[in-house]
Amino acid sequence: MSKTTKNARKPIGRARLRSAVIAGGLGASLVLGAGSAVAAASGQGDVFASGTAAQLAQSARAQADQQHKSAAAEKKAEKRAEAGKASRGADRTKVNKANSWTKPVEGKYDLSAGYGNSGGRWAHKHSGQDFAVPTGTPVKAVHGGTVVKAGPNGAGDGSSYGNAVVIKHDNNTYSQYAHLSSVKVKPGQQVQTGQKIGLSGSTGNSSGPHLHFEIRSTPDYGSGKEPVSVMRAHGVKV
């Protein structure tokens, strides 16, 4: 038997075998996963190698579980942040809507008789701004507030106004809507900017369907202000 053959049959020391198995298990774990490492170790018939591969597999599972928990926690945190942002946006929208002003009619309209006009149709100069619109056009509250008058006979201001509504706003400002074909609110009711309060018409002393709109310093006739300039001061161009 040759020297080369004798060397080939020389037993491998236990320490060398253990190192080889561990290295093999690590390599298999990296390439094929922990299961392959277990298979590689058990193929050597070494209890120590099998135990090491099992520990590696357990460690890999623990690491995967931790990563899954971290990802889930991060996702929940993102959802909470998005929900908070949406809530803050909704709050800002409510505040902006409460502070905003809008036009009193929807859709197309023509400005007809203006504030201060004189003529046979009025006992005194015209006290508001008329919006020529078809009967049944939605009429909106120009700003949030409380309805203080609503109903026929100008809601107490006289039959020439027909069906009318008066709303009290902040800073002792009032808006009035007259010649309505239908009233949709009642005294004491809270309304928001843009809320429908009635439908346009031609009730009372009217030459045709339109909305008579006033801005007042009190709820009663005779305290009117030039409404177009007031609306413009609140960012509304009519």
Same domain flag for 228 and 119: yes
Residue 91 domain-assigned (yes or no)? yes
pLDDT band at 238 (very low <50, low <70, confident <90, very high): confident
Collapse the DSSP code of 107 into the 3-class scheme (helix H, G, I; strand E, B; otherwise coil) and give the result.
Answer: coil
Question: How much is the pLDDT for 157?
Answer: 93
Same domain flag for 13 and 65: yes
Of 47, 77, 98, which residue sits at a domain end? 98
Same domain flag for 65 and 179: no
Question: How much is the pLDDT for 145?
Answer: 97
Between 75 and 180, residue with greater pLDDT: 180
Same domain flag for 81 and 114: no
Residue 103 domain-assigned (yes or no)? no
Reading phi first (left if > 0) and then psi (alpha if -120 to 50, else beta), residue 115 is in beta
Collapse the DSSP code of 135 into the 3-class scheme (helix H, G, I; strand E, B; otherwise coil) and give the result.
Answer: coil
Same domain flag for 42 and 137: no
For residues 76-105, give the mean pLDDT. 68
Residue 186 domain-assigned (yes or no)? yes
Same domain flag for 133 and 85: no
Question: How much is the pLDDT for 36?
Answer: 44
pLDDT band at 64 (very low <50, low <70, confident <90, very high): confident
pLDDT band at 76 (very low <50, low <70, confident <90, very high): confident
Collapse the DSSP code of 145 into the 3-class scheme (helix H, G, I; strand E, B; otherwise coil) and give the result.
Answer: strand
Tally of structural domains, the chain: 2
Question: How much is the pLDDT for 79?
Answer: 79
Of 43, 66, 98, which residue sits at a domain end? 98
Domain harbouring 170, CATH code: 2.70.70.10
Question: How much is the pLDDT for 133?
Answer: 96
pLDDT band at 218 (very low <50, low <70, confident <90, very high): very high
Domain that holds residue 30: 3-98
Residue 238 domain-assigned (yes or no)? no
Same domain flag for 116 and 168: yes
Same domain flag for 8 and 86: yes
Residue 35 domain-assigned (yes or no)? yes
Strands (E), the chain: 110-111, 129-132, 138-140, 145-151, 163-168, 174-183, 190-191, 196-200, 211-216, 224-225
- Between the CA atoms of 66, 68, 70 and 73, what dihedral angle is there, to the nearest 10 degrees? -140
**Contact of 27 with 42, CB cutoff 8 Å:** no
Percentages helix, strand, coil for the chain (3-state, rounded to 5) are 45, 20, 35
Residue 104 domain-assigned (yes or no)? no
Question: How much is the pLDDT for 164?
Answer: 98
Residue 37 domain-assigned (yes or no)? yes
Nearest to 55 by CA among 81, 82, 33, 34: 34
Q: How many residues does the chain have?
A: 238
Same domain flag for 142 and 221: yes
179 pLDDT higher than 90 = yes
Same domain flag for 115 and 228: yes
Of 63, 98, 133, which residue sits at a domain end? 98
Question: How much is the pLDDT for 45?
Answer: 52
pLDDT band at 80 (very low <50, low <70, confident <90, very high): confident
Same domain flag for 19 and 50: yes
- Give the least confident one: 106-120, 193-207, 222-236: 106-120
The neighbouring-strand residues paired with 85 are none
For residues 17-36, give the mean pLDDT. 45
Q: Which amino acid is at 181?
A: S
pLDDT band at 26 (very low <50, low <70, confident <90, very high): very low
Between 176 and 8, residue with greater pLDDT: 176
Residue 208 domain-assigned (yes or no)? yes
183 pLDDT higher than 70 = yes
- The model's pLDDT over 102-150, given as tens digits with 9 standing for 90+, comes to 999 988 999 987 887 655 554 567 788 999 999 999 999 999 999 999 9
Collapse the DSSP code of 182 into the 3-class scheme (helix H, G, I; strand E, B; otherwise coil) and give the result.
Answer: strand
Angle between helices 34-43 and 14-32 (to 10 degrees): 150
The span from the CA of 154 to the CA of 183, in Å, is 11
Q: Tell me whether residue 16 is exposed, middle or buried, using C-beta atoms within 10 angstroms of its C-beta: 0 to 12, 13 to 18, 19 or more.
A: exposed
**Contact of 193 with 97, CB cutoff 8 Å:** yes
